[in-house]
Chains A and B, each alone.
Chain A
């Protein structure tokens, strides 16, 4: 039992949760080893975790501090990016025309379950004394699906703005061409997730605090390469892990097709990020700047691994029946989380390696976190959309750990 556990013993559940989550916030902010990285993230962490900015109101203003790079000579060709641009133009899909929205999404039909019952952590809940009956399990699984897809949608909104900012800031004209297609892609992703939630699941969850922190940090950071690294490599990697997990689990044909289209787009997005950053990191950054980006990527990777713990579902379902700490433990050990982590890092680590953010120094940190097994894997320039979908489908999640 830790000191914190001893402190919490005997307190009412609500007080336990308040103290636990406050200490957790402090622990998260304190865990960032590089002070510069901690300082750059602190304002977003304060807004998201302490002030709870995303928990009320209709909108949040996120001031951007980046400069638009306006070309006067239309030079700076980047043939690989131009190829990507042409491919993106050729592969645009239409969310209204190309998806069968007439499909009746029946949340009670196990044959076409949006989230089959082997996805939610029922065993973990039972180990903590919470048993749900068959009807509750079904409702819970549907809520987890709505929560997950809501977070995808909130992430896509962030991606839309980040893609627009990056299109302004990037120095290559071919990058701007490509960026414009990505803005369109992200807008379409936002549209289809919102439409699915509104018309099929009819439930939309609020943005998760930790996702808000990452998006707020990216959108307010003035350095274009940090935006790029954050959005094109880290958040897109997170998205591939999360979308891939859902794609593997869901049996609902409309969602499966929707996710397939989205994953195919994401493959291009990561490819673009990798091309731009490898060039920039190897040619334009000082060793100190490279080191800071390495640390930043590492911290964000850990944040993404450890902190998407669906607290909104906890507060809706189990506040008063279970401590927040126990909930976090259940989710971290759930089978779906292990699938998500696997698929995310399988893509992320080789990409960080390829763009030059995997020095021997930082490798030691990744080794401690158990993430080096993915080193040497295929990076985004070596993978087609079909490869990505095949790798996702081939992955079988191991059983849950309790």
Chain B
């Protein structure tokens, strides 16, 4: 009668079976504080963040946060990848871009203790749950940020997993996470890192990239870097007989310039729900739809991921450029709900 039982108070839900609901939460900005700034190279820093409300910010390796900075009175948003393994305090690495307003601000002006808001985590450049086969990674420059997170997470989960990295930089001084990659090499015998420096070895072409990557038959391949490099790697791998389904790419899109948005309300008709919603001045199509309670898919909210792609059936929009839409997609009438707004009464297939 007087047994004493171990008392469970709360239910452990590390990833949450409700991950399927995580995407809409991405629109909910969370306050964060910068708790540490680590200088990685002359032109790159890693920001470690803590949430203002003390609640966790669970993320998956390879995902990114959309950072909403207030710079000189204006809010600007940029997506930066999380560069630490799953389970660690969230940290994102930012590399200075020539003429980059936000990267300049982060690398030169942001201080420990700074507070701002983030959206996300978002993105599906992630490890496949349950998959234990070899991983082959190609990173170039700051494209290493999601890749290092994927590598460390995969190896912590399975220290015997075969993981290979081809990391392209202009020269050794530009190499991000050099110490972490060396530590991984020392600790995990099946992790292999091939550095490649374009200053001395030149840019590898498609055939050379396929030769360097040489994925095993059951390997998953992750590419992250400038668009031309990923296109070349994809072409080389496809020519070598690698199935497209095994290749994952994370696109990096330069910061978009905002177009002048209409100053009067405009009606948008959403065909799938049959709802007609009034877009308020300054709102994007996505913001108008979400405000009215429509379940529209989206992720980065800055035109970089394509999750919010919608097809226009009638009407005109203005779209912030550059963004991730291809020429074919544009020709077929697609736009990005997060970065576009209706200029005339609009009908969209969403």
Does A98 interact with chain B (Cβ within 8 Å)?
A: yes
A315 near B21 (CB under 8 angstroms)?
no
Residues from chain A with Cβ under 8 Å of B5 in the complex: 51-52, 55-56
Of A75-83, A192-200, A216-224, A341-349, the one with at least 4 CB within 8 A of chain B: A192-200
Interface residues of A in 303-360 (CB under 8 A from B): 312, 315-316
B18 near A198 (CB under 8 angstroms)?
yes
Residues from chain A with Cβ under 8 Å of B7 in the complex: 55, 315
Interface size on A, residues (CB 8 A): 35
Nearest residue (CB) in B for A106 is: B53
Does A206 interact with chain B (Cβ within 8 Å)?
A: yes
Nearest residue (CB) in A for B292 is: A100
Does A89 interact with chain B (Cβ within 8 Å)?
A: no
B21 near A205 (CB under 8 angstroms)?
no
A195 near B9 (CB under 8 angstroms)?
no
- Which of B10, B18, B295 is A199 in contact with, Cβ under 8 Å? B18
Residues from chain A with Cβ under 8 Å of B9 in the complex: 205-206, 312, 315-316
Does A125 interact with chain B (Cβ within 8 Å)?
A: no
A199 near B4 (CB under 8 angstroms)?
no
Nearest residue (CB) in A for B5 is: A52
How distant is B277 from chain A, measured CB to nearest CB, in Å? 13
**How big is chain B's contact interface, by range?**
20 to 34
Does A377 interact with chain B (Cβ within 8 Å)?
A: no
Given A22-B1, A199-B18, decide whether A107 and B25 contact each other with a Cβ distance below 8 A: no
Does B13 interact with chain A (Cβ within 8 Å)?
A: yes
How distant is A154 from chain B, measured CB to nearest CB, in Å? 10
Does A203 interact with chain B (Cβ within 8 Å)?
A: yes
Residues from chain B with Cβ under 8 Å of A99 in the complex: 293
Interface residues of B in 1-29 (CB under 8 A from A): 1-11, 13, 16-18, 21-22, 24-25, 27-29
A205 near B11 (CB under 8 angstroms)?
yes
Q: Compute how far the CA of A25 lies from the CA of B25 in the bound complex, rounded to whole angstroms.
A: 42
Does B322 interact with chain A (Cβ within 8 Å)?
A: no
Does A102 interact with chain B (Cβ within 8 Å)?
A: yes
Residues from chain A with Cβ under 8 Å of B293 in the complex: 97-100
B295 near A102 (CB under 8 angstroms)?
no
Q: Compute how far the CA of A102 lies from the CA of B290 in the bound complex, rounded to whole angstroms.
A: 7
Does A42 interact with chain B (Cβ within 8 Å)?
A: no
Q: Compute how far the CA of A113 lies from the CA of B1 in the bound complex, rounded to whole angstroms.
A: 41
Interface residues of B in 101-154 (CB under 8 A from A): none
Nearest residue (CB) in A for B25 is: A199
Residues from chain B with Cβ under 8 Å of A56 in the complex: 5-6, 8
Does B273 interact with chain A (Cβ within 8 Å)?
A: yes
Does A373 interact with chain B (Cβ within 8 Å)?
A: no
B8 near A101 (CB under 8 angstroms)?
no
Does A9 interact with chain B (Cβ within 8 Å)?
A: no
Nearest residue (CB) in A for B30 is: A104
How distant is B290 from chain A, measured CB to nearest CB, in Å? 5
Q: Compute how far the CA of A195 lies from the CA of B23 in the bound complex, rounded to whole angstroms.
A: 12
Interface residues of A in 209-247 (CB under 8 A from B): none
Given A102-B290, A206-B8, decide whether A18 and B2 contact each other with a Cβ distance below 8 A: yes
Residues from chain A with Cβ under 8 Å of B4 in the complex: 18
Interface residues of B in 286-330 (CB under 8 A from A): 290-291, 293-295
Some 5 contacts from A to B, beta carbons below 8 A apart, are A18-B4, A22-B2, A102-B290, A103-B28, A316-B10
Binding site for A on B (CB under 8 A): 1-11, 13, 16-18, 21-22, 24-25, 27-29, 52-53, 55-56, 273, 290-291, 293-295
